[in-house]
Amino acid sequence: MRTLLLLYLCAYTAWAQDNLEYDDYDTDGKSTQAKNNTATVDARGHRPLSRGRDTYSSSRYTPPPIGGSGRYRGRPTPAPVGRPQAQEKEEQPESGGCTHASEEMGVLCPNGCELKTALLKQERNVKASIRELKPHVDELSRSSNVVYNYVNSISNSLRERQRVVNDNSRVVSQYTDQVEEQHAYIKETVDTVFPSNIRVLQGVLDKIRLKIQRLEKAIQAQRQECREPCKTKCPIPVVSGKECEDIFRRGGKDSQMYMIQPDTFYPPYRVFCDQSTQNGGWLLIQSRLDGSVDFGRRWDEYRRGFGNIAFDSGKGHCETPGEYWLGNDRISQLTKMGPTEVLIEMQDWTGAKVQAQYQQFTIQSETSNYVMAVDGYSGTAGNGFLQGSLELFGENRTMTIHNGMMFSTYDRDNDNWTPGDPSKQCAKEDGGGWWYNRCHSANPNGRYYIGGAYTKQMAKHGTDDGVVWMNWKGSWYSLKAISMKIRPFFASK
């Protein structure tokens, strides 16, 4: 059976090769190249260059001519020509009465005739027996076929089981190799890598412990110093006035912290006066220097003000401004006393400086949510309050204009970005309180990023929430310093 199966497979393979077409043979994708570029001959040059129904004819094996001896012997020599001779009939001895089956054997004797009669009788008996045995032989033949088929199926089943066993053995061997590799890797990791990492982590832990100890000592020292109320070491200058311009005219020509009292019905408070920039008289209402103060505050804190007014750098007076917001109530009161101008100064991380100045700047009271109004721009930073971001166009630019906007904090949403929707609040996304539109071209109270450039991944909400002035440095550059100063506006100075 195996021999017959092998012969059948060989014959089928020869037929398949004889009838194989190019489209069926192309399994490596090179025919596509031949189709797209008929000028380039495929590396397998026996293939046609066009797809279609062309066929591929392989070099088939041609068997040699049959050899060996012929089927006939040599022809006999012809008899000499002459008169035919009559064959003499040989007389057989002891002639009997019946003729032998073979004529050459002559005539049988009487005993031979009896033998023939006996054989004929036995032939009739044997034929009857043969007819009786024939059904048994047929049944035996059918039984033999059934047994053969059963044995054949058992053999096929055994071969299939053997194949499955071999496959299982191969898979088990592969998994065994993988397990051994994993075991070797784990053993190496446990024996070498883990101890090394543990030593490194132990060193890091020791350093962290030292830092914790230092912090605990520093905290303890701060607690000792803070047992008594903190008192400023800066002496308050004798000169005071309604605002910094008034102080300047009364003789306060040094830039430092002063006491002002715009309205006699309210108590005085501290401010920082810049008495050197543009002939002085500037009152600092906002200052960002180093990120030491968090500007992500509530509405009430922006209303009252927060931060550090000034510091003493060793000269006996507070001549160094700190980071602070004066307070919306106070800014509103100062700007509503009369025409007020505002000067916004900024610096990047390379030391470059620009400014934006508005001759008119007014903040309304809390009843109107501190609406801002500005006009009369001049400067080098770009007119973001009135024109919006110059890198935007159309409605997108209009949405960044700050003039006419109400003040917003993360707990008091007054911007133009879907009012009332807590998921769409400029103050919450951009890090501080400001006169947001939808949302900004300037964000002086945003989050402080050291170094300038920052990314969406660094931002808390993925927005440009830094200390931004878009018309100078764009959306993704946070300024190093920015300040807002106001003073009464005069037509001539």
pLDDT (tens digit, 9 = 90+) per residue, 301-312? 999 999 999 887
What is the C-alpha to C-alpha distance for residues 51 and 29, in angstroms, rounded to an integer?
12
The whole-angstrom separation of Cα 402 and Cα 374 is 9
Residue 359, pLDDT above cutoff 90: yes
Instruction: Output 200-203 pairs: Cβ under 8 A, ≥24 positions apart.
Output: none
pLDDT at 33 over 50: no
pLDDT value at position 231? 55
Average pLDDT over residues 54-64: 42
- The domain tally of the chain equals 2
Predicted confidence at residue 132, as pLDDT, reads: 82
Give the phi and the psi of residue 32 in degrees, each rounded to 5: -60, -40
pLDDT of the residue at 484: 96
Q: Which domain holds residue 446?
A: 244-488
Please tell me the least confidently modeled range out of 103-112, 142-151, 276-285: 103-112
- In what helix (H) or strand (E) does residue 264 lie, and over which residues does it extend? none
Element containing residue 231 per DSSP (H, E): none
Q: Binning pLDDT at 50, 70 and 90, where does residue 144 land?
A: confident
Residues 294 and 403 in one domain: yes
Above 80 in pLDDT, residue 233? no
Residue pLDDT, tens place only, 92-102: 444 445 665 66
**What is the pLDDT at residue 384?**
93
Residue 219 lies in a domain: no
For residue 199, is it within any domain?
A: yes
Q: What is the pLDDT of residue 418?
A: 80
Most confident of 40-49, 65-74, 80-89, 270-279: 270-279
Same domain, 130 and 192: yes
- Where is pLDDT greater, at 279 or 47? 279
Helix, strand or coil for residue 297? coil
Q: CB under 8 Å to 34, separation ≥6 — which residues?
A: 40, 41, 42, 47, 48, 49, 50, 51
* pLDDT exceeds 50 at position 20: no
Sign of the Cα pseudo-torsion (235, 239, 242, 246, in order): negative
Residue 260: strand pairing partners: 241, 269
Co-location of 144 and 255 in the same domain: no
pLDDT at 143: 84
Q: Is 75 among the domain residues?
A: no
CATH code of the domain in which 355 resides: 3.90.215.10
Q: Bigger pLDDT: 316 or 409?
A: 409
The runs of H, that is alpha helices, within 20-109 are 22-25, 30-36
Considering the domain boundaries, does residue 388 fall inside one?
yes
Rounded to an integer, the average pLDDT of 475-486 is: 95
> What 8-state DSSP symbol labels residue 434?
B
Q: Are 454 and 478 in contact (CB under 8 A)?
A: yes
Say whether pLDDT at 217 is over 70. yes
Contact 386, 397 (CB under 8 A): no
Total count of residues recorded for the chain: 493
Query: Is residue 483 scored above 70 in pLDDT?
Result: yes
What is the band of 53 on the pLDDT scale with cuts at 50, 70, 90? very low
Q: Is residue 46 part of a domain?
A: no
Backbone angles phi, psi at 41, to 5 degrees: -75, 135
Which spans in 76-193 are helix H? Answer: 110-188
| Burial tier of 168 (Cβ tally within 10 Å: 0-12, 13-18, 19+) | exposed
Q: Identity (one letter) of the amino acid at 145?
A: N
In a shared domain, residues 457 and 382: yes
Answer yes or no: do 479 and 383 share one domain. yes
Strand partners, 453: 477
Residue 76 has pLDDT above 80, yes or no: no
CB 282 within 8 A of CB 493: no
Q: What percent of the chain has pLDDT over 70?
A: 74
Question: What is the Cα–Cα distance from 252 to 237, expressed in whole angstroms?
Answer: 8
Co-location of 329 and 256 in the same domain? yes
Query: Strands 256-260 and 269-274, how do they pair?
Result: antiparallel
The HSE-up count of residue 89 (CA atoms within 13 Å, CB side) is: 4
**The token pair that represents 71 in the structure block:** 């089927």
Do 168 and 252 lie in one domain? The reply is no
Per-residue tokens: 431: 């890090």
Asked if the model's pLDDT at residue 42 lies above 80, the reply is no
Where is average pLDDT lowest: 71-75, 233-237, 279-283, 320-324? 71-75
pLDDT band at 11 (very low <50, low <70, confident <90, very high): low
Distance from C-alpha of 342 to C-alpha of 358, rounded to nearest angstrom: 5
Is residue 19 assigned to a domain?
no
**CA-closest candidate to residue 295, choices 172, 465, 48, 486:** 465
Sign of CA dihedral 146, 148, 153, 158: positive
Regarding whether 174 and 270 lie in a shared domain, the answer is no
| Lowest-confidence segment of 72-86, 158-172, 364-378, 445-459 by average pLDDT | 72-86
User: Distance between CA atoms of 252 and 269, rounded to whole angstroms?
Assistant: 16
Tokens of 487: 């003073």
Q: Which tokens go with 91? A: 């007389």
Residues 376 and 292 in one domain: yes
CA separation for the pair 112, 140 (Å, rounded): 40
Q: Which residue has the higher pLDDT, 10 or 378?
A: 378
Average pLDDT over residues 67-71: 48
Rounded to whole angstroms, how far apart are CA atoms 244 and 264?
Answer: 16
What is the model's pTM? 0.55
**One domain, residues 200 and 248:** no
262 and 172 fall within a common domain: no
pLDDT at 493: 47
Q: What's the token pair of residue 296? A: 């992500």
Same domain? 386 vs 334: yes
Share of the chain above pLDDT 90, in %: 38
Beta-carbon contacts of 21 under 8 Å, excluding residues fewer than 6 positions away, are 53, 54, 55, 56
Last residue of a domain, which of 152, 186, 205? 205
Average pLDDT in the chain: 79
In order, the DSSP letters of 448-467 are --TTSB--TTTSSSSS--BS
Q: What angle do CA 328, 329, 331 make, to 5 degrees?
A: 60
Name 491's Cβ contacts closer than 8 Å, sequence gap at least 6. none
Residue 422 has pLDDT above 50, yes or no: yes
Look at residue 259 and tell me if it is in a domain: yes
